[in-house]
Structure 1
């Protein structure tokens, strides 16, 4: 199997690279940043997801794409539009043109950030209420995945990821943390589940304080092994002003992207 990973030099890509390596798998790693040769046999491609011809070439001979590439935090609209929205369109279009049968898309919990926390588990397929331009870009990515499945038959699994770091960074992440080991397990499930069609699943570990559903993720074979609670005594306290929303601090006015300048 040959797996193309976009954004492979980023935080999540770096965490997943060794965890997705298999003797029977070739990792083709793509990023605009230089990627280190770690001796794992990976194919290193320096290119931008905004370059359609380069993406088509990168997709040739690939069995699946894990699309992690893009801006991972809030930016102004022009950058979000160019990199996250148009770039994601080009990833799906390149996969289609090259005959890749499956794309696993790294979406985010910020697609639904302005949903109030209502005291019950956030369900699968929660309707979008993005909290930032970044969240809007991931809603657009999910919509593109739906279109490319329905129009072209591409299998697409969208992962609404929480916070994927070696350890949770604050008390909110005791609820939303996706451990690197569980992230790899979730990606493996998304890659191997037979004929998923189009799915949107929460990307979260089975944390004691979790308030996102794991029903759809478990339906594709995901089984969490980690719980953020073991780090509860180590993490700083989260600013509680925005904990009434699913998106937490991403709902803060401080993250107002400001729109395009006149």
Structure 2
């Protein structure tokens, strides 16, 4: 009965303090013990004792929870913003012959959206497995940067581009391919294979072997080696953005 009285006294004191003052400590009761007579009282003379938690500890815990929720919300908003920019960017370049049909003003809008997405890029994209896979070339601000003479103004008149693709495989393989139809009569394909070397966290240098050309029944190599530098400025599960050493912008879309 003395233990029960102590419990009641403590409860009354805590209740009175809450009504009259801002508490600095909160009373924590020991776990109740159920007896055969149905009464639930604290076990006397046990290692369980009445304890107090300083109100500052509660405030600190509440602050941590608030900051965690705020951080989670901010991360979700960032992800949503990036996804919206990705969808907007792909809609800008869809059906434009990989950017060749866009006006100067439209190219500027694409560049502006790319710059915004660049701010969401992960710190070290070259260390991410997301860079590997098969990619379609959706856009290039300079058409000849991805297909050479095959994508020049005259080349596009004579050769209808059917496919532009890039494959990146671990640890360092890069393969480029441009498939076309010559005068809508003869199918052809030019491909490049090479290896890349990381220069820092974003920039890589790719050294390609001589191009391999298929034109109807004919297949042969021509020219010599070539080398390019490109930075990965954004990558996620859907797209990869690149910027060449001369400022050209590339948009690659992951193949389904």
State the TM-score bracket (shorter-chain normalisation).
under 0.3
TM-score of the pair, normalised by structure 1: 0.22
TM-score of the pair, normalised by structure 2: 0.22
Q: Which protein is richer in strand relative to its size?
A: 2
